[in-house]
Structure 1
Amino acid sequence: MSDIIEKLRDISFDDLHPNERLKAESDYLRGSLMEGMADRATGAVSEDDTQLTKFHGFYQQDDRDLRSERRHQKLEPLYSFMVRLRMPGGLMSSRQWLTLDDVATRYANGTLRITTRQTFQYHGVLKENLRAHLKTINEAMLDTIAACGDVNRNVICTANPHRSTLHRRIFDFAHDLSARLMPRTRAYHEIFLGEERIAGGEETQEPLYTQHYLPRKFKIALAIPPENDVDLFAHDLGFIAHVEDGELLGFNVSIGGGMGMTHGEPATFPRLSDVIGFCTPEQVLDVAEAVMLVQRDHGDRHDRKHARMKYTVEDHGAQWFREEVERRLGHALNESRDYRFDSNGDRYGWYQGDDGAWHYGLFVQNGRIADFDDGMQLMTGMREIAKVHEGDIALTTNQNLIVANVTDAKRAEIDALIDKYHMVKDTTPLRRESMACVAFPTCGLAMAESERYLPSLIDKLDNVMDEAGLADDAIVVRMTGCPNGCARPYLAEIGFVGKALGRYNLYLGGNFTGERLNKLYRENIDEATVMQELTALIQRYAKEREDGEHFGDFVIRAGVIKATTAGNNFHE
Structure 2
Amino acid sequence: MHLMGSQRKRTKSKIEVIKENSEYLRGPLAHEVGNDASHFSKDAIQVLKFHGTYQQDDRDLREGRDRHYIFMIRGRLPGGKMTPHQYLAIDEIADEYADQTLRVTTRQAFQLHGVIKEKLKTTLQEINRSLITTLGACGDIVRNVMATPAPDIDGRQAKVQDFADRLSDILLPATKAYHEVWLNGDKVFSGKEQVTNREPLYGPSYLPRKFKVGIALPKDNSIDVYTQDIGLVALFDDDNEIEGFNVIVGGGMGMHHRKEHTFPRLGDDLGYISREKVVEVVKAIIEIQRDYGNRKNRKQARMKYLIHEWGLDKFRKELVARLGYELEAFRALPDFELDLYLGWHRQSNGKWFLGLSVENGRIKDEGELQLKTALRTVVERYETGVRLTPNHNVILTDIAANDKAGIEKAFNRHGVLLDDELSNAIKYSMACPALPTCGLAITESERVFPDIIRDLDEVLHEFGLEDEKLSVRMTGCPNGCSRPYVADLGFVGRSLDKYTIFIGGDPSGTRLNRKYKDLVARENLVDEVTPLLSYFSKNREEGESFGDFWNRVDVEDTELISA
TM-score (norm 1): 0.93
- Contact 1:555–1:561 at 8 Å: present in 2 too? no
Cα displacement (A) at 1:213: 0.7
Residue of structure 2 equivalent to 1:155: 145
1:392 and 2:388 matched:
no
1:194 and 2:181 matched:
no
Cα separation, 1, equivalents of 2:262 and 2:252:
11
Q: Report 1:68-467 matches (<5 A).
A: 70-71=63-64, 76-195=66-185, 205-245=198-238, 246-373=240-367, 375-424=368-417, 426-467=421-462
Q: Deviations over 1:286-324 (max 9, x none)?
A: 111111001101101111100000001101111211222
Q: Deviations over 1:506-543 (max 9, x none)?
A: 00110131101111110011134322321111111111
Which segment is superposed worse, 264-273 or 350-359? Answer: 350-359
Residue of structure 1 equivalent to 2:533: 538
- Contact 1:79–1:126 at 8 Å: present in 2 too? yes
- Contact 1:94–1:389 at 8 Å: present in 2 too? no
Cα displacement (A) at 1:405: 1.4
- Contact 1:161–1:169 at 8 Å: present in 2 too? no
- Contact 2:355–2:395 at 8 Å: present in 1 too? yes
Distance 1:112 1:469, change over 3 A: same
Number of positions where the alignment pairs a residue of Structure 1 with one of Structure 2: 548
1:502 and 2:492 matched:
no
Q: Deviations over 1:38-68 (max 9, x none)?
A: 221x31100000100000001000111122x
Cα displacement (A) at 1:249: 2.4
Residue of structure 1 equivalent to 2:41: 46
Residue of structure 1 equivalent to 2:190: none
Which segment is superposed worse, 508-517 or 230-239? Answer: 508-517
- Contact 2:159–2:242 at 8 Å: present in 1 too? no
Residue of structure 1 equivalent to 2:561: none
Cα separation, 2, equivalents of 1:187 and 1:393:
30
SS at match of 2:76: coil
Cα separation, 2, equivalents of 1:512 and 1:187:
40
For the aligned residues, what is the CA RMSD?
Answer: 2.0
Residue of structure 1 equivalent to 2:554: 559
Which segment is superposed worse, 201-210 or 55-64? Answer: 201-210
Cα separation, 2, equivalents of 1:8 and 1:278:
40
Residue of structure 2 equivalent to 1:36: 32
SS at match of 2:365: coil
1:485 and 2:480 matched:
yes
Cα separation, 2, equivalents of 1:180 and 1:26:
22
Distance 1:65 1:204, change over 3 A: closer
Cα displacement (A) at 1:409: 2.8
SS at match of 2:126: helix
Cα separation, 1, equivalents of 2:234 and 2:474:
29
Letter in 1 for 2:10: D
TM-score (norm 2): 0.94
- The percent identity for this pair of structures is 42
- Contact 1:445–1:482 at 8 Å: present in 2 too? yes
Distance 1:424 1:560, change over 3 A: same
SS at match of 2:422: coil
Letter in 1 for 2:375: M
Cα displacement (A) at 1:342: 3.8
Q: Report 1:56-67 matches (<5 A).
A: 56-67=51-62
- Contact 1:240–1:251 at 8 Å: present in 2 too? yes
Cα displacement (A) at 1:9: 8.0
SS at match of 2:319: helix
- Contact 1:521–1:561 at 8 Å: present in 2 too? no
Q: Deviations over 1:349-392 (max 9, x none)?
A: 1111233220100000010000112x111100011011122331
Q: Deviations over 1:55-101 (max 9, x none)?
A: 0001000111122xx12xx7x31101110001111101111111000
Letter in 2 for 1:276: L
- Contact 1:156–1:220 at 8 Å: present in 2 too? yes
Q: Deviations over 1:182-211 (max 9, x none)?
A: 1111111111111179xxx99951111111
SS at match of 1:15: coil
Cα displacement (A) at 1:10: 8.5
